[in-house]
């Protein structure tokens, strides 16, 4: 995925390891969220707490993915057309192939509208994360110009305002102030950019890990507390993971602390294996959280809800998440090897043509502006008394 502009391979491997763990957390949260579990809000059980633990990890992991991208991309001075094409084709490939696989298998009826939607997954938000992430990637060159033009003081002020409006206030009131998925991703991008352009001094991974553990303990403790209150006030129990939402301050803090912790560690062994595995993580997401795969996976294949009250839920959930992650990784690496590497040269040529066309249009626009300015000056000279 993104290439680091600087830093050793061992340091990069630390962040790639975090990317792998983040995707694992996302799969865990989907096991819980889409698994069809229906725990009574007035009862506390180990299984219910375990599924709530999965939710906490997933919300934090979504933030981490965007922070990693922002950290690597903010220093880029060139619009990477190839990267954008690759992202778009990757998303379209999974959308189209999975739709027609389910149609041919007879589990989904063919619909012309759905077929069209499968070819336009970004526009029709087949995956909410993919749509917002694609738009973020499209806007990243302009965000870079804006962010790098700010001095440190103004940059910090911008982050303080956005943090208060889009994280602190939603944490206190549970209401979003003029925000949505894309705007939140842009905020995370800006936050990651600040960490890249103005790295904090004397940061130690051990301190960050301990701080992250403290924040996670707070989140876990709040869940237990709300579950206890929920025994008498069910609505509280139904919203026990309220502080775990992507835009809630504890989840944001946990995301940043984990990023800083892994950014400071050095992975001496297995760096290449980690990097290759991390390159497949977005494919794992597209595969397992596809709208047609989702129900089939968690309800038909793994039958999650059948284990709701079983003592086997914890080991079974770990097994299921591992199988999904490993299967998705293998399939994505095969897609890259068998298809993407074959059409990558074509994408590079297309990107070169796009760059030349853009430069030509910019040049024509500049010439038109100069001619307009010259004509205006001539007119002013002839009408001056």
| Successive 10-residue mean pLDDT values, the chain, 385 residues | 46 89 96 93 90 92 94 83 88 96 94 94 93 94 93 96 95 86 96 94 90 95 93 87 92 96 86 92 96 95 95 97 97 93 78 66 54 56 44
pLDDT reported for residue 353: 73
Domain borders along the chain are 9-339
- Is-contact 69 136, C-beta < 8 A? yes
Q: Where are the alpha helices (DSSP H) in the chain?
A: 9-33, 46-73, 81-104, 112-119, 128-149, 152-163, 169-173, 181-197, 205-230, 234-238, 249-264, 271-278, 281-288, 291-295, 313-335, 341-382
pLDDT reported for residue 350: 72
pLDDT reported for residue 109: 93
CA 327 to chain centre: 20
pTM of structure:
0.88
- Radius of gyration in angstroms for the set of CA atoms belonging to the chain, rounded to a whole number: 24
DSSP string, 130-160: HHHHHHHHHHHHHHHHHHHHS-HHHHHHHHH
Instruction: Name 182's Cβ contacts closer than 8 Å, sequence gap at least 6.
Output: 132, 135, 136
CA dist 193 to 139, 152, 153, 155, Å? 14, 11, 14, 10
- Is-contact 285 127, C-beta < 8 A? yes
Q: Where are the beta strands (DSSP E) in 196-302?
A: none
Q: How many residues does the chain have?
A: 385
The C-alpha atoms of residue 50 and residue 254 are separated, in whole angstroms, by 19
And the tokens for 125?
């938000």
And the tokens for 108?
């989904």
State the DSSP code for 4. P
CB atoms under 10 Å from CB of 323, counted, come to 14
CA dist 50 to 18, 302, 322, Å? 22, 17, 16
* Secondary structure of residue 25 in the 3-state scheme: helix
């Amino acid at each position: 995925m993104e290439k680091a502009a600087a830093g050793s391979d061992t340091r990069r491997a630390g962040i790639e390891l975090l990317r792998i763990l983040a995707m694992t957390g996302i799969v865990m949260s989907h096991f819980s969220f889409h698994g069809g579990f229906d725990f009574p809000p007035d009862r506390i059980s180990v299984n219910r707490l375990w599924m709530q633990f999965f939710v906490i990890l997933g919300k934090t992991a979504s933030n981490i993915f965007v922070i990693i991208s922002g950290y690597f991309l903010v220093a880029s001075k060139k619009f990477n057309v190839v990267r954008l094409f690759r992202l778009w084709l990757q998303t379209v490939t999974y959308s189209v192939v999975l739709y027609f696989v389910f149609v041919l298998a007879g589990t989904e009826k063919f619909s012309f509208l759905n077929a069209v939607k499968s070819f336009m997954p970004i526009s029709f938000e087949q995956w909410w994360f993919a749509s917002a992430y694609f738009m973020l990637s499209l806007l990243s060159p302009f965000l870079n110009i804006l962010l790098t033009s700010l001095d440190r003081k103004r940059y910090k002020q911008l982050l303080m305002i956005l943090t208060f409006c889009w994280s602190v206030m939603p944490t206190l009131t549970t209401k979003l102030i003029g925000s949505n998925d894309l705007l939140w991703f842009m905020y995370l991008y800006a936050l990651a950019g600040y960490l890249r352009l103005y790295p904090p001094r004397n940061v130690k991974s051990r301190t960050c890990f301990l701080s992250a553990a403290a924040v996670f303990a707070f989140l876990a403790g709040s869940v237990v507390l709300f579950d206890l209150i929920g025994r008498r006030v069910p609505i509280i129990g139904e919203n026990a993971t309220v502080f775990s939402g992507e835009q809630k301050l504890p989840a944001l803090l946990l995301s940043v602390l984990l990023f800083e912790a892994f950014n400071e560690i050095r992975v001496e062994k297995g760096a290449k294996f980690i990097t290759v595995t991390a390159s497949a993580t977005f494919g794992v997401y597209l595969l397992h959280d596809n709208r047609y795969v989702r129900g089939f996976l968690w309800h038909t294949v793994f039958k999650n809800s059948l284990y709701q009250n079983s003592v086997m839920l914890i080991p079974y959930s770990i097994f299921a998440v591992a199988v999904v992650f490993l299967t998705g990784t293998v399939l994505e690496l095969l897609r890259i090897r068998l298809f993407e590497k074959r059409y990558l040269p074509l994408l590079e040529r297309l990107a070169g043509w796009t760059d030349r066309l853009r430069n030509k249009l910019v040049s024509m626009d500049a010439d038109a502006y100069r001619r307009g300015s010259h004509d205006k000056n001539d007119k002013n000279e002839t009408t001056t008394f």
